[in-house]
Amino acid sequence: MLANTEWPAYERADGRKGIRNIVAVVYLVECAHHVAREIAAPYGEQGVHVVGFPGCYPNNYAFRMLSRLCTHPNVGAVLLVSLGCESFSRQELQAVVAESGRPVQTLVIQDRGGTRSTVALGRSWVEAQLESLAAVPRTTMSFGELTVGTVCGGSDGTSVISANPAVGRAFDLLVGAGATCIFEETLEMVGCEEHLAERAATPELAGELRAAVAKAARYSAAMGYPSFAAGNATGGLTTIEEKSLGAYSKSGHRPVSGLIKPGDVPDFSGLYLLDVVPDGDVRWGFPNINDSVEIAELISCGSHVVLFTTGRGSVVGSAISPVIKVCANPETYARLSEDMDVDAGRILTGSASLDDVAEEICDLVVEVAGGVLSASESLGHREFVLGYKSFEPIGPACHPAPLAMARG
């Protein structure tokens, strides 16, 4: 049934399909952030989103992230806003976007007469794009072309009982219908790595998954915040591996098809683990200073929609892709219902089963993909955070071709 579901979508020149038709206004250093924000400000309701990179020193990861986000299928046109003297290669980013077939323009504040005139130029360009984007070819889209990410934030003891396993079952359904699903948070998978490895599509991938969790454990220990503290019996948690289950249970029960890093867009449908912990020495501080970084990374891997589970009650959304809030705790839902999309706490009160909520999540994914605004979207949440990191490219063992294709 799910596999046959279709919804309206936007067709991009590169053949990918989007569920939103966004104009991205991109600052290439913090010094250009205000101008970018001012350009976008009048068009908040019309799908003009601000993303960018604050740093003045060059960083390959940040370049790759912005390249992927600017050519994300939800994005229809891109305005780059440069101060002029930053290290970020605006020419290269403009070339990447132009090559994808999208309208792109670069405004250099130092060459355009300053703040007021750059804002005016930017707004007139954005207005022209909003008009032409209305003519982007429409098509239909199905699960085989959809990518869904998941993240948790503000978790509590109810998360593992309700929202997280419900998202896991939704992932089982979505992957079964042909979608690409991405989970992450290797830092919170310490203790689950053997079970994770058992789900790997190949023995080589199993080794890569173990190594990714080991890297996360080393990294967090070096930062002084190991991902497991002294055993905490409150709320009934007994072992480390049980504690890690909270995050891990969002991944469902399907085999793991591959291990990807920020900016890697999977070549085949399936279930992927996104490794967000930098490679090499501990140089860049905390791997994820907040949930918004992780959401941006999930979107850089092609996520059209992100499922965000919360117990305490996060209110964030994101630029580029809609965030759907799945609330684990019924008391939190009662308090913050205007920010929530799914009341998974009904599992605790006995008025819904995990399967009921999983189906509700899948139905909502279809609705939001079809254009209905999620709660955070309708409230104007467009958070975006990007910092410094470094990654080695993934090896062939991380992303094996599906068995049938490899043999076929």
Partner 1 sequence: MPANSDTAPVDPAPYVRLAPSDNVVVLTRHVDSAEHLPGLSGEDWLVVAHLDAGNKLAAVPIAAGERVFKVGVPIGTATAAIVPGEHVHSHNLRSDYVAIDAEGTHGAGEH
- Asked if 384 and 27 count as a contact pair (C-beta separation under 8 A), the reply is no
Crossing angle between the packed helical segments 33-40 and 115-133, to the nearest 10 degrees = 40
Choices 71-79, 84-92, 342-350, 392-400; region in contact with partner 1 by CB under 8 A: 342-350
In the three-class reduction of DSSP (H, G, I as helix; E, B as strand; rest coil), residue 333 is classed as helix
Smallest distance from partner 1 to CB 136, Å: 42
213 binds partner 1 (CB under 8 A): yes
101 binds partner 1 (CB under 8 A): no
Choices 33-41, 93-101, 218-226, 291-299; region in contact with partner 1 by CB under 8 A: 218-226
Smallest distance from partner 1 to CB 168, Å: 7
β-pairing, 7-11 vs 17-18, is: antiparallel
Choices 127-135, 226-234, 278-286, 378-386; region in contact with partner 1 by CB under 8 A: 226-234
230 binds partner 1 (CB under 8 A): yes
CA distance 177 to 271: 12
Contact set for partner 1, span 139-178 (CB under 8 A): 156-158, 160-161, 165, 168
Segment (H or E) for 366? helix 354-369
Choices 96-104, 110-118, 237-245, 301-309; region in contact with partner 1 by CB under 8 A: 237-245
- Asked if 288 and 311 count as a contact pair (C-beta separation under 8 A), the reply is no
CA distance 396 to 385: 30
CA dist list (Å): 123 to 36, 110, 114, 120, 142: 10, 17, 14, 5, 34
Identify which of residues 120 and 240 has a Cβ nearer to partner 1 in the complex: 240
232 binds partner 1 (CB under 8 A): yes
217 binds partner 1 (CB under 8 A): yes
Identify which of residues 212 and 368 has a Cβ nearer to partner 1 in the complex: 212
E strands of 342-404, at which residues?
342-343
β-pairing, 305-310 vs 323-327, is: parallel
359 binds partner 1 (CB under 8 A): no
Contact set for partner 1, span 69-98 (CB under 8 A): none
Rg of the chain, C-alpha, whole Å:
21
235 binds partner 1 (CB under 8 A): yes
281 binds partner 1 (CB under 8 A): no
Sheet holding 22-27, edge to edge: 48-52, 22-27, 75-82, 104-108
Closest CA to 138 of 302, 322, 6: 6
Smallest distance from partner 1 to CB 390, Å: 20
Smallest distance from partner 1 to CB 242, Å: 4
Smallest distance from partner 1 to CB 213, Å: 7
CA dist list (Å): 341 to 224, 244, 327, 372: 35, 25, 8, 12
Segment (H or E) for 10? strand 7-11
Choices 71-79, 245-253, 365-373, 375-383; region in contact with partner 1 by CB under 8 A: 245-253
Segment (H or E) for 131? helix 115-133
335 binds partner 1 (CB under 8 A): no
What single-letter amino acid sits at 159? S
Closest CA to 153 of 313, 375, 274: 313
Q: Using CB under 8 A, count the residues that bind partner 1.
A: 47
Identify which of residues 350 and 408 has a Cβ nearer to partner 1 in the complex: 350
8 binds partner 1 (CB under 8 A): no
Identify which of residues 121 and 240 has a Cβ nearer to partner 1 in the complex: 240
Site string for partner 1, 290-329 (x = CB under 8 A): ---------------------------------------x
- Which of 43, 55, 108, 228 binds partner 1 (CB under 8 A)? It is 228
Which structure tokens are listed for 10? Answer: 């936007």
253 binds partner 1 (CB under 8 A): yes
CA angle (195 as vertex; 190, 196 as ends), nearest 5? 70
Binding footprint of partner 1 on the chain (CB under 8 A): 156-158, 160-161, 165, 168, 190-193, 195, 210, 213-214, 217-218, 221, 226, 228-242, 245, 248-249, 253, 329-331, 345, 347-350, 354
